[in-house]
Amino acid sequence: MNKIKFIKEVIKTLRFWRISIVLLLITFSISFITFTARTFGALIGIDGNVLQFLILGQSGALIVISPILGILIDKKGPLPLIRISTLVCMIPGILLTIFTDNTIVFMISCFLSVLGLISISVCYTPFIMEIYGIETSIILGGIMQVFSKISEIATTTTAFSISLFYSKEEIMKPYKILYIICSSCCLLSFILILFEKKDKYKYDEKEVNSLGKLVSRYTLKPSD
């Protein structure tokens, strides 16, 4: 089947792996800060009411920002927004490393991390469709989502491991190290995504022509 041949062709390219690695790195950074915020915040003494407000604020941001990003993608395309998002996602890790137990900075960092999460979630699928076309982007997007899930599993595993080996008094140090790693991942993602362009991927012409003939064969021609 030609579609399968196209998929095999794409996954052998450097571009596919570069885009997938960007998704892996940025997902780890965003997931770690976002998903551990409530537990870590409680451990370092952030007020419980503040953490509850943070969760409500994140949900509100999801509702408000997603449509705005959709409009921006329609006008500017997804690639510029992905680049901006990778830069924005560097900020929370830096702030949390320096001002870890500052309540205001903690809230700002978590909000920025959620903004990054929303932006990547909204922008990445249109970006893949823009490059590879609708026909193959569904399968390719599914393959790339495996990298995202690997990051989420790594986030959960890392947070659980820290809770096992470090006491409440010692937990700040490993988290600071991981916040530095998160910012580094975002920086590397930004560097990698700079190599990307809006150019569509060019499939093997022989396969494209073959698929075109197959479609034409089974397309009804209008009667004279």
Which residue did the predictor score with more confidence, 134 or 169?
Answer: 134
What does the angle CA 148 – CA 149 – CA 153 come to, to the nearest 5 degrees? 120
pLDDT for residue 206 is more than 90: no
pLDDT for residue 207 is more than 60: no
Average pLDDT, the chain: 84
Name the domain count of the chain.
Answer: 1
CA–CA separation, 124 and 144 (whole Å): 10
CA–CA separation, 18 and 192 (whole Å): 7
Q: Which of 49-53, 124-128, 200-204 has the highest mean pLDDT?
A: 124-128
Residue 83 carries which side chain, given as an amino acid letter? R
The predicted-structure confidence for 78-100, as pLDDT tens digits, reads as follows 999 999 999 999 999 999 999 98
How is 81-141 classified by DSSP, letter by letter?
HHHHHHHHTHHHHHHHHHSTT-HHHHHHHHHHHHHHHHHHHHHHHHHHHHHH-HHHHHHHH
Residue 222 lies in a domain: no
- Mean pLDDT calculated for residue range 121-126: 89
Query: What per-residue confidence (pLDDT) applies to 22?
Result: 93
Residue 52 lies in a domain: yes
- Mean pLDDT calculated for residue range 57-81: 85
Among 14, 1, 2, smallest CA distance to 206 is for: 2
pLDDT band at 205 (very low <50, low <70, confident <90, very high): low
Which residue did the predictor score with more confidence, 102 or 48?
Answer: 102
| Helix H or strand E encompassing 55 | helix 48-76
Q: Which of 42-51, 141-150, 201-210 has the highest mean pLDDT?
A: 141-150
Residue 224 lies in a domain: no
Query: What per-residue confidence (pLDDT) applies to 183?
Result: 94
User: CB pairs under 8 A, 24+ apart, for 56-62?
Assistant: 57/111, 58/34, 58/110, 58/111, 58/114, 61/111, 61/114, 61/115, 61/118, 62/114, 62/118
Query: What is the domain extent for residue 168?
Result: 2-212
Residue 76 lies in a domain: yes
The predicted-structure confidence for 7-38, as pLDDT tens digits, reads as follows 888 999 999 999 999 999 999 998 898 888 88
User: CB pairs under 8 A, 24+ apart, for 37-41?
Assistant: 37/106, 37/110, 37/113, 39/159, 40/171, 40/175, 41/106
CA–CA separation, 37 and 22 (whole Å): 23
Residue 188 lies in a domain: yes
Percentage of the residues of the chain whose pLDDT score is greater than 90 = 30
Query: What per-residue confidence (pLDDT) applies to 70?
Result: 86
Residue 217 lies in a domain: no
Say which CATH number the domain at 19 has. Answer: 1.20.1250.20
Residue 219 lies in a domain: no
Burial class of 212 by CB neighbour count within 10 A (0 to 12, 13 to 18, 19+): exposed
Residue 221 lies in a domain: no
